[in-house]
Structure 1
Amino acid sequence: MGKIILVRHGESKLNVKGVYYGILNPELTEKGKQQANQAREILKNINYHKIFASDLKRAVDTAEIINCKELDILIHRDLRELNFGIFEGQTYTQLLEKYPEELKESQKNWENYNYITGESVLQLQKRAIAFIEREINLEENTVLVTHWGVINTILSYYFSKNLDSYWKFSVKNGGIVIIEFSDGYPILKGLNIGG
């Protein structure tokens, strides 16, 4: 019986600005570093065998803070946030002005809408699950330091059909989610711990 321990990165400088961003690469805020330190305190009580992180700075920096066992952090591009393409760095108000039709379509067809030069939420889910199936031993405890979209696609995959529950989880910056696997069967053991 093993666990996937999902940790959302601490607050970043673009979280504060309220823009669409996935592949943009901001640093953590001071609050984000505090959130990561709180997650570290929780992880001190959880045994883990490996730690992976998205290759984006906010996730790598969070991983370095929370890694209380001081294992090598395995950096992986497949744990990146959704690529919002032409929406990257834009506020909702800016999108209403610049890309009103694209914004409307992204809301109506959110699972499959490809963010023009980006990717769809369904593509993100396929990428995240392929990573787990390829890289994770479900008999061990593995920490994945990643992003809201990645975490929610994983939760939706294991606990509902495809993306049916994608919008039903609220994982805060620095929050920890624990999925335990019993003979490959997923059990949600913790949601938003510490976040």
Structure 2
Amino acid sequence: MGQIILVRHGESKLNIEGVYYGILDPELTEKGKEQAEKTREILKSINYEKIYASDLRRAIDTAEIVNYKKLEILIDQELRELNFGIFEGHSYKELLDKYPEELKKSQSNWENYNYITGESVLELQKRAINFIEKKVDLDGTTVLVTHWGVINTILSHYFSNGLESYWKFSVENGGVVIIEFSEGYPILKGLNIGG
């Protein structure tokens, strides 16, 4: 029986500013570092064999704090957050002024809208699941330090049809999600622990 332990990075400076950001690369706030310290305490009860992190600074910094076993952190771009393309760095209000038509499209067809120069949520899900299928041993225990969008696409894949439940999970900064696999069958063992 194996487990995937999904960890959302700690709070970053852009979380506070309330802008769309995925591939922008802010640092953790002091609160974000404290959240990661709390997550480290949660992970101490888990005997993981591998730890991966998104290649974005907020995920790497979180992984370095939570990695109580001091294993090599495997950095992988496939665990990056959704690329919001032209929306990156803008608030909702700014988008209403700057890209009103694109904002409407992103809301009416959120699964497939690719944010112009970015990617769609469906593409993100394919990337995340491809990563798991190629690189994660479902008979072992692996920690993935990543982002809200990645975590929610993974949960939606395993526990609903496609992206049906993408918006139905709430994983806070520093939150931990545990998916256990019994003969390949996923079981949700913990959601937003500590977040």
Q: Does TM, normalized by the shorter one, top 0.5?
A: yes
Indicate the residue corresponding to 2:113 in structure 1. Answer: 113
Indicate the residue corresponding to 1:17 in structure 2. Answer: 17
* 1:80 correspondence with 2:67: no
For 1:46, the aligned partner's letter is I
| Cα distance in structure 1, aligned partners of 2:8 and 2:69 | 18
Alpha-carbon displacement from aligned partner over 1:35-77 (angstroms, at most 9, x marks no partner)? 0000000000111000000000000000000000000000000
The runs of at least 4 aligned residues of structure 1 exceeding 6 Å deviation read: none
- For the residue of structure 1 that corresponds to 2:38, the secondary structure is helix
| Cα distance in structure 1, aligned partners of 2:14 and 2:104 | 23
1:3-152 to structure 2, matched below 5 A, reads: 3-152=3-152
Q: Identity of counterpart residues, as a percentage?
A: 78
Q: 1:129 Cα shift? A: 0.1
| Cα distance in structure 2, aligned partners of 1:99 and 1:179 | 38
Q: 1:4 Cα shift? A: 0.2
| Cα distance in structure 1, aligned partners of 2:146 and 2:87 | 20
CA RMSD, Structure 1 to Structure 2 (Å): 0.2
For 1:70, the aligned partner's letter is K
Q: 1:154 Cα shift? A: 0.1
What's the TM-score, normalizing by structure 1?
1.00
| Cα distance in structure 1, aligned partners of 2:79 and 2:94 | 28
- For the residue of structure 2 that corresponds to 1:62, the secondary structure is helix
For 1:140, the aligned partner's letter is G
* 1:185 correspondence with 2:185: yes
For 2:8, the aligned partner's letter is R
- For the residue of structure 2 that corresponds to 1:25, the secondary structure is coil
Q: 1:137 Cα shift? A: 0.3
For 2:29, the aligned partner's letter is T
| Cα distance in structure 2, aligned partners of 1:85 and 1:9 | 21
- For the residue of structure 2 that corresponds to 1:138, the secondary structure is coil
| Cα distance in structure 2, aligned partners of 1:9 and 1:114 | 24
For 2:146, the aligned partner's letter is T
Q: 1:115 Cα shift? A: 0.6
Aligned residues: 195
What's the TM-score, normalizing by structure 2?
1.00
For 2:75, the aligned partner's letter is I
| Cα distance in structure 1, aligned partners of 2:71 and 2:114 | 36
